Structure 1
């Protein structure tokens, strides 16, 4: 495990809670004489801390990584790969600062033989004054004490509190993209209410201890829901006319290209990340240089510009391979037979998916939402750029839980020719995909991005160099052992810039 970049001890300076109640109490108290720490602190016991770290991280560990969570010593995990609870919390309540400091029993082992990580979290602590969660982290026989895992937005009830992962947590979990990412909500409650219960933001009261029912917990921030789903009833316009050159308003597609990067962060993970692998385009598909987007070619299908419907299938496939050990791969995913179907501006992207030797045909990978519901032809070509693609439940399963349902994938660019003499547009270099090697032509020779060098045709050692992207925070890259923290960014990928000009 990479060394923790900075350490903080339990005696680190406290940050004041910016809460009105605490401020009011402090101002009303007036000047106080200095007293011993023991005089201001009351003992606490029988508390529980519940926190899931990050839902997408849990999905990664038990999904693509084929790993497991093993709680012990009083720690437990909720069913269906749920959140973790650490019991036996003891500590103190400071009546001067109204800070609650608690340490919890139990440990959590996180391990994957397939992806080569094995770490244990123990001595989990919550400090409302410092507004943070810390834990001891053990990996490779070395233990780092009091590693700050998350900053906490402390509330009076201490239930459903928002958390944000730290730089140290990003190192522990194996991806720099976790720094600043929203974690799962945190709840700290007392199982056996005392006669007098402390509050982290005000003076002690005689009421029972904080309860999860006293406030509404926010939804976990590690999951996402789809905001668009295809429906034939969503057709909003039938006003599109025939093309300017008088082509029929419906018929067979003569040719076409599909530009799609799948997801930029996933490409980075495979080539530059812990997977230490390669990407190979074949069968008519090509990849832009610099580990760029893919172009799928030779579209066939049908269109109807009056009804604003289109269905196009494309040739080519792309393979993602990584986590090699003794000639076997923990990641071996192929997407081929891509088909786009649109009806009134919304629709689906389907593909044949082969993962580790298992094939599933016609998997609906993404819900599509175009910027317009009208299909308009110009010079016998229908073009749609930056079509939003959101991962479906089936798509999430195809990625082994690496991403959650509703994750925004790279946008889709689509151009289809309606007649034999129509000319498809050329790429213009926007979006940074470039017109370099590994993108030309429409032949069946593969283009490969590996771990070194450039992505040239028929290469098996090609790859990318340079800094990794570092935007976004929703990528569940998970714990990746002693490998250096790798940025696997969320967010839309670059727009495909190279399209094949159809041969006359």
Structure 2
């Protein structure tokens, strides 16, 4: 396997057990035998879920695996096969290169690239790949930093600056990528012995057939499942809060969908995002925070109804002062019952408003609502796009697509202190990659015009140029309910809090 070009960073975690080849035992007995061969490994990584949604959604593009690589169903993660390489018993680094390629292409948005020769290096704690685009190939481009774990399954990844360039958006730099798993396709004949520690010797003792499994100090070996067992909904005990009553205040953190924000600011829309009315946006074209909640709660019945102040406007595809995309979400409300519920909003598109559109089905990690210090907190509530929400985005995202998760905190008394940073997690300013610099009013802006857009607005949809279809320009226009338009949107009357 070709040597990885980047200089090695310190090991995230060291490997503590010996290495096996097939069914035969391998003994590492001297410094000259420090590097032992590995084979039959697979690497599974989805790059980033929102990027996959963008490619197959807004960009109307495709992923094409080749040479043994595969993609999971429903636009899932990619698996590269035939992994071979070495295990270094001195440094405990696992280095593997994988067969298979992945072509990513969109005629609509004008890009085509291929990833090949994917490599994983536990010592450098990174994923690299050769990237071919525009007839030029760059070798060993670092795509993600990896938090290496003992089992090498579901390892956290963080996209690099180089990955942001490859994927076409500065907003991806430093963003969390999909989890990474590296496993041996054919299990060894004997179970590995995970008890050895690199702190006890510089190389593992001779042993029978086992698989290399990075390990480390007690402070760094806690499994992801252990760290995630705590309920995100405030699992602490009750602190004397009334079982039910009115909400005194609260905040809602929600980014709508990261790929949509990228499309508006950094993508073909060349537009801007403006938060107003008490809502703010985090820097770097980040998520939105809506404030001043009111509503009601019942912790015995595990129900919550909360409405929030603030609005966010997405505007883009400007031509001669007219915008083909002009979408405003306001009046956001959340209703939960036993851990599930819905998120609604008033949707204004190109000057026409539809109230109480059910944008997302919500699922919390727990059905049990418990208050701590008179505050109910729910983090990372799963948001799944509804049929009405899919129509609101012009069909770019299909029903059931994952939206950004929802973070919710509500105060049950006037004296309750909301978590620091909730109400102002974003100062209303920020940069949007190539979109320019936001302003104190809460605008993340673009360059204003796009050469691929011609004409003005006809009815609810914009006229288009040859390379941007009506659907792309009217990313939110389909939400408009007009007589004879044939657009049916599921709405509900907002229930009073």
C-alpha change, 1:389 and 1:81, in structure 2 (3 Å) is closer
**Which residue of structure 1 aligns with residue 161 of structure 2?**
167
C-alpha change, 1:471 and 1:15, in structure 2 (3 Å) is farther
**Could you tell me how far 1:107 is from its partner in structure 2?**
0.8
After superposition, the C-alpha distances for 1:45-64 in whole angstroms (9 at most, x for unaligned) are 22211111122222222223
After superposition, the C-alpha distances for 1:2-36 in whole angstroms (9 at most, x for unaligned) are 999xxxxxx43323435476599999999999999
Question: Higher Cα Rg: structure 1 or 2?
Answer: 1
Cα separation, 2, equivalents of 1:490 and 1:182:
44
Q: Is the contact made by 2:281 and 2:288 (CA closer than 8 Å) also made in structure 1?
A: yes
Q: Is the contact made by 1:380 and 1:418 (CA closer than 8 Å) also made in structure 2?
A: yes
SS of the aligned residue for 1:192 comes to: coil
Cα separation, 1, equivalents of 2:351 and 2:311:
15
Structure with more contact order per residue of length (Cα contacts < 8 Å, sep ≥ 6): 1
Q: Is the contact made by 2:311 and 2:328 (CA closer than 8 Å) also made in structure 1?
A: yes
Q: Is the contact made by 1:47 and 1:188 (CA closer than 8 Å) also made in structure 2?
A: yes
C-alpha change, 1:328 and 1:188, in structure 2 (3 Å) is farther
Q: Which moved more, 1:486-495 or 1:447-456?
A: 486-495
Q: Is the contact made by 1:469 and 1:489 (CA closer than 8 Å) also made in structure 2?
A: no
C-alpha change, 1:218 and 1:438, in structure 2 (3 Å) is same
C-alpha change, 1:210 and 1:46, in structure 2 (3 Å) is farther
After superposition, the C-alpha distances for 1:318-359 in whole angstroms (9 at most, x for unaligned) are 874546899999967576898898999998653576989999
C-alpha change, 1:188 and 1:174, in structure 2 (3 Å) is same
Cα separation, 2, equivalents of 1:212 and 1:485:
66
**Could you tell me how far 1:249 is from its partner in structure 2?**
21
**Which residue of structure 1 aligns with residue 2 of structure 2?**
2
After superposition, the C-alpha distances for 1:127-181 in whole angstroms (9 at most, x for unaligned) are 1221211001122222221011112222343222222222211222233332232
C-alpha change, 1:199 and 1:185, in structure 2 (3 Å) is farther
**Which residue of structure 2 aligns with residue 227 of structure 1?**
221
**Could you tell me how far 1:121 is from its partner in structure 2?**
0.9
Cα separation, 2, equivalents of 1:491 and 1:44:
65
**Which residue of structure 2 aligns with residue 248 of structure 1?**
242
Q: Is the contact made by 1:235 and 1:308 (CA closer than 8 Å) also made in structure 2?
A: no
Q: Is the contact made by 1:198 and 1:205 (CA closer than 8 Å) also made in structure 2?
A: no
Q: Which moved more, 1:89-98 or 1:459-468?
A: 459-468
Q: Which moved more, 1:54-63 or 1:331-340?
A: 331-340
Q: Which moved more, 1:235-244 or 1:46-55?
A: 235-244
- Gaps (5+ residues) in structure 1? 5-10
Q: Is the contact made by 1:241 and 1:306 (CA closer than 8 Å) also made in structure 2?
A: no
**Could you tell me how far 1:84 is from its partner in structure 2?**
0.4
**Could you tell me how far 1:89 is from its partner in structure 2?**
1.7
**Could you tell me how far 1:365 is from its partner in structure 2?**
2.4
SS of the aligned residue for 1:235 comes to: coil
**Which residue of structure 2 aligns with residue 154 of structure 1?**
148
Q: Is the contact made by 1:272 and 1:464 (CA closer than 8 Å) also made in structure 2?
A: no
Q: Is the contact made by 1:366 and 1:392 (CA closer than 8 Å) also made in structure 2?
A: yes
C-alpha change, 1:401 and 1:384, in structure 2 (3 Å) is same
SS of the aligned residue for 2:192 comes to: strand
After superposition, the C-alpha distances for 1:282-303 in whole angstroms (9 at most, x for unaligned) are 9999999999999999999999
Q: Is the contact made by 2:28 and 2:204 (CA closer than 8 Å) also made in structure 1?
A: no
**Which residue of structure 2 aligns with residue 70 of structure 1?**
64
- Gaps (5+ residues) in structure 2? none
TM-score normalized by the length of structure 1: 0.49
1:26-45 map, 5 Å? 39-45=33-39
Matched residues, number: 496
Q: Is the contact made by 1:132 and 1:152 (CA closer than 8 Å) also made in structure 2?
A: yes
**Could you tell me how far 1:473 is from its partner in structure 2?**
34
**Which residue of structure 2 aligns with residue 21 of structure 1?**
15
Q: Is the contact made by 1:259 and 1:296 (CA closer than 8 Å) also made in structure 2?
A: yes
Cα separation, 2, equivalents of 1:385 and 1:74:
39
Cα separation, 2, equivalents of 1:90 and 1:137:
20
RMSD over aligned Cα atoms = 14.1
SS of the aligned residue for 2:54 comes to: helix
Q: Which moved more, 1:439-448 or 1:133-142?
A: 439-448
Q: Is the contact made by 2:480 and 2:487 (CA closer than 8 Å) also made in structure 1?
A: no
Cα separation, 1, equivalents of 2:377 and 2:171:
34
Q: Is the contact made by 1:175 and 1:485 (CA closer than 8 Å) also made in structure 2?
A: no
Q: Which moved more, 1:480-489 or 1:315-324?
A: 480-489
Q: Is the contact made by 1:197 and 1:204 (CA closer than 8 Å) also made in structure 2?
A: no
C-alpha change, 1:499 and 1:36, in structure 2 (3 Å) is same
Cα separation, 2, equivalents of 1:253 and 1:273:
39
**Which residue of structure 1 aligns with residue 55 of structure 2?**
61
SS of the aligned residue for 1:449 comes to: coil
